[in-house]
Every structure is written in C-alpha cells, then in structure tokens.
Chain A
Amino acid sequence: MASVALTHLDPASRAAARGWSDLTIRNVFIIPTLAFLIVFNIFPLIYSLGYSFTNFAANRSDPWQFVGLQNYRELLSDDHIWSNFVITAKYVIVSVAGQMIVGFGLALLLNRSFPMKGLITTLLLLPMMMSAAVVGLFWQLLYSPSWGPINYVFGLGDFAWLSNPDSALYAVAITDIWMWSPFVMLLSLAGLSAVPQHLYEAAAIDRAGWWYTFTRITLPLVSPILLIALIFRTMEAFKTFDIAYTMTTQPTAELIAIRLYKQAFQQWDTGKSCALAYIVLIMVLAITNLYVKYLNKVKER
C-alpha cells in the first residue's frame, strides 16, 4: 500500500462527512496518544535515568544522595552481573537460533498447497498466543522428573531438567523455541509466498536443483524478512523474564532480567537497578543497531 501524506481529508471519508477538520483529527487522535506516551513511557524513562545516579531506595523514606557514576562503576565491575550477561547471551543464541531454524523449516513445509493448510497453520500459531507465565507453568509440568511426559517419551528416567544446573537454561530455551517459532514461521511464510512462482519455474527450466534454487533464489529473496524476525526475537529473548522466572530458580538460569528484578524488588536497590536497566537498554540498542545496519545492506543488494 502506498503511504500518502495526510495533507487534507479524503472527501469520501466518514470524518469528512462529520465535518471534522485536520485540526480536530489531530486533537482527537494524536494528542491523547502523545500525552499517554509522555506520561507512561518517556517520563519514567527520564526519571529512572535520574535515579540511576543516586542511591535511592523505593521502600525507604531516607533522604537519597547523588552518587554520580558509582552505580555504573559497581555494576560493571561485578562478576556476578557479568555471569548473568553470559547466561543471557547463551540463552539468546540458543533460543533465537532454534526459533529461526524451526520456524523457517516449518514455513518451508507449509509453503505449498495441501488439504487443511489453513487449519494446520492456525494450530501451529497457538503457542505464541498464550501467556508466557502459563506456558512456563505448563512446561514445568511437562518437564517434571517424576511424572512429566517428556522424560516418559524420551525414556530419560527421572532426569531433573529444571533443577539440574547444567540443563535448566536449555530447558527454558526449548520452551521459548516452542513458544516463538510460530512467529518466525509466520514472517517466513509471508516472505516465501512473496517469491514469484515464475522464478521457480525459470530455475526449473534452467535445470537448477532444489538446493541451488534454494540458496540462489529463495534465501536471498526471503533474507530481509528473516532478518526482521531475527531482530524481533533477539530483542525479546534478551529481556526474557516471565518464562524463566516461572520455570526455574537455578542460578545457572538467572537471566539479566531476573537479576534486575531481584535487585529492584527484592533487594530494593532502586538506584542501582535503574543503572542496570540502562546498561541492558544500551546493549539491546547496540545489537539492534548492528542488525538494522546489516538489514539495510541486504536490502540494497
């Protein structure tokens, strides 16, 4: 769809029929949105930036002091925090890679016509429509060492997925893959169905095999949309909290968001946790920025 600059009202529109001017539309729709964003997003953002330079604690009424960069200095030299970041990095890599592979693979399988395609696609999308906390709780049951169906099906005896320090993080990542692969699948399907059929026919005529066609035609044409899926999933995985928090208490699965939560609402170290939130924000921004730069390069090709 072409985007048209809204310089005047479409005379056939309902707004015009009601006699609304551009000014009215601006006042009715845009100003409330802006006000909402400022009050609930931008203001807390700036306010927490201020807190990050203090030793403010939200559960005490003691006067707080300005401490400069001390919070940041302490956080960045804290080995504990760094190990949280390493855990998060492992988690992001495993779960995003898994989602990309499973999601794109499913999309390749679904990108043809077969009976009940619509129904199957819809069913496959269900996981991502559920609440993350519910997914976490259910998978905790599935993983249960004594009577969980997963151990039963794979014959793993009483292997304790979620309380084993070596496996807890990956167990959470598998759940995340289950939940979010459909998202990658949906975007990939959109990308795949946008590849014109006549290109595949031309390739068949040119005697190209399946793999050659896939790497030379399908992948290059789908890669921009795959990168968008990758950006979204990386950002989301980086700040995963709910699934991991409901599923396990293992320190080896303590993602940075969980650490942040504990610091803010268990230790009530509000100033320091604001600083940590800012460090996370800057990291996510940096990673996203890298992707977007690469995406623009891919699109130019």
Chain B
Amino acid sequence: MAHIELKNITKKFGGHTALTSLNLEIADGEFFVLLGETGAGKTTTLRLIAGLEKPTEGQVLIDGVDVADWGAAERDVALVLQQYSLYPRYTVRENLEFPLKPKIRRLPDAEIKDRVDRAARTLRIEHLLDRKTDRLSGGEMQRVSIGRAIVRKPRVFLMDEPLSALDAKLREALRTELKNLQMQLGATFLFVTHDQIEAMSMGDKVGVLNHGRIVQTGTPQEIYNNPRDTYVASFVGSPPMNLIDGKLVNGRAVMAPLNFELPFSGGAKASAATDGRPLVFGIRPEDVYLESGAPVEARVHDVENHGVEKILTLRVGDTTLRATVPARTDVAIEQPVRFAWNPDKVVLFDKGSGVSLRHAG
C-alpha cells in the first residue's frame, strides 16, 4: 500500500497541453476520485502514475520515491481500464493467473491457485473460472479485470472509468462492491470518472479536474457544500447549483438583471467588503423552497418527477432556476409560485474570476 504524490506535473502531447502544473496527493489507503469531463486529463494522470507515459515536467513520487525512471512493472500498480483489456483466447482462470506467472516472479502453484480462488470468491466469479473471456457479459468482464488487479496485491489500484460501459443497475451494484473491496483490502485507490454521482458516493476524497488543472480537492461534502469556483459548483451535483448574477446591497441579495431581492446572512464583515460588487450567488436546488409568503414570485416552467422528490424548473423573468421539492408538492406547469432560499447556504462567487469568496479568503 502506498502514498502517491504528483508534484508540478505538466504533460504535453505535441502542441496540446494535457496537464498543467498538477499537484496531487493521495494518502495511503485512501479512495481518491479524480472527477472531470472528457478530455480534462484524467486518463493522462492515471497513465503517468502507472508509468505508461512520462511527464514533460514534474515528479511522480510513490511512497516518497521519485519513480521517473521506473517502468510500469517496477511501479507495481494495477490498472483497470474501461475497455477491460482481458487477454483474448484465455479462460477467466488463465487471465487471473497471468500476472502471477511471469518467470521472474513466478509464485508456487499452490499460492497461485489460492490467490486466484480468493479473488474469484471476493468478486463472485467462481462459477466463471473455466469460461473463455469472450463468453462473458460486460459486468463479468469488468469483474475479471478487477480480479486480475487484486490477485497481485499491488501497491496502488488505478481505475480508469471502470464502470462507465456498464448499464445503470450493474453500475450501482459494482459501485458498492468496489467501495467495499477497497475497505476490505485497505488499499490505495485512484478512481477516475466523469460521473459526479460515482465521485460523491465512492470517494474519501475527490479532486476536480478541469482542462488539465486541479480546481479543487476535498471530501465530497466540502466539494458539494463549498465549491471553490463556479465550474465546480455547476459540475458537481445533479441538478447542479443555481448560479444567479447579482450584488449585495445592505445585507440583502439583489439580483441585478432579474430585479428581485432575497435576504442574505453572510454577516456584516462579508457585506461591508462586497457591497455593490458584481457577484454570482450560488444556491443548491434543495435549499430553494416554495412558500406562500416567500419574497419572490416565479412560474413553474417544468416538473421532473423523480419519485422521492420533484425537481422544478422555476422561471423568473427570462432566467430559470431549479428547486428540489418533496414529491407530494402539488404543482402544475405555468402555475405561479413564490419561493425563497436558505440564506445560510448561499455561496458567493466573484463575477469576474468565478472563485468563491470563501476560498479567496
């Protein structure tokens, strides 16, 4: 098990810069999720740690040792890829044995059998051991490829969107299983995904990656409740955080183009410094509520029924915002409603830079 550190990593592919001065630290035994959109540099980061790519600048440290000159084999990491990468023509057992059989590190046969059986039991693929890999379903293939990673007891597990090719039900099941597996093994996991639900539900820590830069690192709660900038705010959470332009006037939030006001409890200190300055107000949909005596009037633009709750799209002027309300709330489209927000939950962002005022200090 290992501690990983990336220091000032820059990676260029020809003229294209994939990663820019990336700093990242993953503690021993941590489940770290790297979250970002397609093309943000997540896979590149994984491949750099695995030793499949060399950084243009910067260092990769595993347990404090600079591994620049180490190949993938010496780094002793396991990599689970989205496309499974099972070895064709071999049975599941042969695939699981593959990493244990190279001559240099050849283990005794009994040990190999023991490890393969244990991995198969953990992943519940014992009944598949003698089957050829091309006769497996997607979920089974992904289990085998995870199995091939765990038989070896590597120092770090790297997973590149391992669940994204699976259907929703299976994805949910494997998500729980992976998390359990990680706790059971006590291993360091670096899990890459573009799915913020995976990130929130699995990660001990989440790093949000945007255009080759780490925007924010923190626990899922920190990322969710206290996003560092408007990018994180709009990327994490489903539906995303509402972002409304406006400014603070005498301790009240005044939405400039929309012409409505809401109470704000940021305290005198915040308002003194920010009075009149152009801001973006961020509020999570679940902190917007409907009330007959609430200060702002809106019309219901759209209703999404999710069973446990309803997600309303409210229209004020020509802007919309989302509100999550209990399922029993009875609303119809185009119905006029009044809404308010929880003033304690409002996050302020600077209009120009998009950075949260709490993070800017």
Contacts and interface: CB of A to CB of B under 8 A. Distances in A.
Given A198-B81, A212-B102, A216-B98, A205 B50 contact: yes
A295 to B, nearest CB: 14
A297 interface: no
B201 interface: no
A202 B88 contact: no
Interface stretch (B71-79, B279-287, B319-327): B71-79
Interface string A161-178: 000000000000000000
Interface in A26-67: none
Interface string B96-108: 0011011111000
A204 B98 contact: no
Given A201-B52, A205-B50, A205-B72, A221 B102 contact: no
Nearest to A208: B102
A248 to B, nearest CB: 45
Q: Which of A196, A204, A207, A221 has the most CB of B within 10 A?
A: A207
Contact of B81 (A202, A212, A221): A202
A199 B104 CA distance: 20
A206 interface: yes
A14 B52 CA distance: 49
A-B complex: 6 closest residue pairs judged by Cβ atoms: A206-B99, A202-B85, A207-B73, A204-B72, A205-B79, A212-B102
Interface in B310-344: none
B88 A206 contact: no
A209 B52 contact: no
A205 B76 CA distance: 7
B152 interface: yes
Contacts of A9: none
Nearest to A211: B103
A251 B259 CA distance: 106
Interface string A75-87: 0000000000000
Classify chain B: how many residues form its interface, as a range.
20 to 34
22 contacts: A196-B85, A198-B85, A201-B52, A201-B72, A201-B81, A201-B85, A202-B79, A202-B81, A203-B98, A204-B73, A205-B77, A205-B79, A206-B99, A207-B76, A207-B152, A208-B73, A208-B102, A209-B103, A209-B104, A216-B87, A220-B88, A301-B89
B71 A208 contact: no
A221 B77 contact: no
B83 A198 contact: yes
A220 B87 CA distance: 10
A21 B174 CA distance: 56
Interface string A193-229: 0001011011111111100100011001100000000
Contacts of A217: 87
A9 to B, nearest CB: 36
B148 interface: yes
Contacts of B87: 199, 202-203, 216-217
B85 A199 contact: yes
Interface residues of A, number: 18
B186 to A, nearest CB: 21
Contacts of A196: 85
Contacts of A198: 81, 83, 85
Contacts of B83: 198
Interface in B60-85: 71-73, 76-79, 81, 83, 85
Given A217-B87, A220-B89, A301-B89, A209 B102 contact: yes
B103 A207 contact: no
A198 B86 CA distance: 9
Interface in B193-237: none
B105 A207 contact: yes
Contacts of A204: 51-52, 71-73
B70 to A, nearest CB: 12
A221 B88 contact: yes
Nearest to B151: A206
A209 B51 CA distance: 15
A201 B53 CA distance: 11
B90 to A, nearest CB: 8
A206 B87 CA distance: 11
Contacts of A207: 72-73, 76, 99, 102, 105, 152
A208 B98 contact: yes
B273 to A, nearest CB: 51
B78 A205 contact: yes
A216 B87 CA distance: 9
B85 A212 contact: no
Nearest to A301: B89
A199 B76 CA distance: 17
Contacts of B101: 212
Given A212-B103, A216-B98, A217-B87, A206 B148 contact: yes
A117 to B, nearest CB: 18
A191 B105 CA distance: 30
Q: Which of B51, B73, B76 has the most CB of A within 10 A?
A: B73
Nearest to A206: B99
Contact of B152 (A202, A206, A221, A301): A206
Nearest to A212: B102
